[in-house]
Copies of this chain bind each other. A is one copy, B any other.
Amino acid sequence: MALYVQKYGGTSVGSVERIEAVAEKVKGFRERGDDIVVVVSAMSGETNRLIGLANEIQEQPDRREMDVLVSTGEQVTIALLAMALKKRGVDARSYTGGQVRILTDSAHTKARIQDIETSRMRADLEAGRVVIVAGFQGVDEHGSITTLGRGGSDTTGVALAAALKADECQIYTDVDGVYTTDPRVVAGAQRLDKITFEEMLEMASLGSKVLQIRSVEFAGKYHVPLRVLSSFQDGPGTLITIEDEETVEKPVISGIAFNRDEAKLTVMGVPDIPGVASRILGPISRENIEVDMIVQNVGGDQTTDFTFTVHRNDFERAQSILEQVVTELGARGCSGNAKIAKVSIVGVGMRSHAGVASKMFDALANENINIQMISTSEIKVSVVIAEKYMELAVRALHTAFNLDKADTVCE
């Protein structure tokens, strides 16, 4: 008998029929003797409907009241799911975040969980009840309703699993697991049975948006085994867990991530003196533009080229800021390119394997793909290339690192 915290997202509870299907699934787990805590999101579309109402009144709605408003979305789902379980003879009880109680700080619309009381849930579990908790929401020390921000239901699930010391936190979603790369780009992409928290973080932040990043961090920190599964089909999904020291044969690379959301900016001929980086990036960050990759190369003539990437939506704004900076710094000029893509190889295995980066560069060179920027971390290597080569690069790397499914290698 195990204790599972199961989280069902918006599309999994998007209609009364879907809610009934979730109830059927949960009933199956109960019949096998497992204890179940269910975390649910708002029915898909509902949160946007509520935000729409608020925006009719205020463009920037009051944050405290926004939380009072949108938290009703999950409250509707918990009640309906409890009814669907009771109808099937499965005893269940629903709780809002405040009722559990999930204590957060007072940062409305993006609160962080501070503490979770488990006594009430434990009593229900002991009485044989399924506990249903509204995701994404909590209550601050003053008793005001808070929300954890978009996607926060994953975080609720992980936090409950940690507090209850659950055997697993299962995130039911519309994909059946984490893949070596996007199957829409590489036909031979494979579902991973296992991936480490760190790898998942790199994969998620690079564009494989299966799980909310914060929930993965949280799961890693509290060692909560996290499993991503499909709510529409059966299957083992992907287990996200700590690095298993005993596994001898680790794959060097777990997956290939990519995105085309970025744009590249270069300031050319910058005097190579201290403080230049902050004089370039200071004005950018003061405009709330987030910078991702940064590369600086020392040239031979006491000047340097300084390149960084921003979100593509911020490209034009960043460019006009840089024109000002060029004048101030006496740099030679600036250039930009929005038609780029970032492709990354991710894997904890590269820590103990030399030559991973050069294997990557070789594979790209074989396809005549020019590398515009390179950035590395402990468990990933990212390159920026021309956008038009993105799919080609991903497929080449997927094959080069032996990630293709056995039956698709010859394709």
Instruction: Please choose the segment from A77-85, A196-204, A229-237 that sits at the chain B interface, where 4 or more of its residues have CB less than 8 A away.
Output: A77-85
Residue contact A57 to B19, C-beta cutoff 8 Å: yes
Query: With A20-B57, A57-B16, A58-B87 in contact, is A79–B94 under 8 Å at CB?
Result: no
Smallest distance from the beta carbon of A20 to chain B beta carbons, Å? 7
Cα A400 to Cα B401 with chains together (Å) = 99
Instruction: Please choose the segment from A67-75, A285-293, A337-345, A376-384 that sits at the chain B interface, where 4 or more of its residues have CB less than 8 A away.
Output: A67-75
Residue contact A57 to B80, C-beta cutoff 8 Å: yes
Interface status of A224 (Cβ within 8 A of chain B): no
Interface status of A385 (Cβ within 8 A of chain B): no
Residue contact B82 to A68, C-beta cutoff 8 Å: yes
Residue contact A68 to B78, C-beta cutoff 8 Å: yes
Interface status of A61 (Cβ within 8 A of chain B): yes
Contact of A62 among B64, B83, B99 (CB under 8 A): B83
Query: With A87-B57, A143-B99 in contact, is A50–B66 under 8 Å at CB?
Result: no
Residue contact A65 to B50, C-beta cutoff 8 Å: no
Interface status of A328 (Cβ within 8 A of chain B): no
Cα A65 to Cα B64 with chains together (Å) = 25
Interface status of A53 (Cβ within 8 A of chain B): yes
Cα A57 to Cα B57 with chains together (Å) = 33
Please, which residues of chain B bring their CB within 8 A of the CB of A56? 16
Please, which residues of chain B bring their CB within 8 A of the CB of A80? 53-54, 57, 65, 69
Cα A76 to Cα B50 with chains together (Å) = 8
Residue contact B87 to A79, C-beta cutoff 8 Å: no
Residue contact A84 to B57, C-beta cutoff 8 Å: yes
A residues sitting closer than 8 Å to B (CB atoms) are: 16, 19-20, 50, 53-54, 56-58, 61-62, 64-66, 68-69, 71-72, 75-76, 78-80, 82-84, 86-87, 93-94, 96, 98-99, 143-145
4 more A-B residue pairs beyond the given contacts A20-B57, A64-B93, A66-B83, with a C-beta to C-beta distance below 8 A: A62-B82, A65-B82, A65-B83, A99-B143
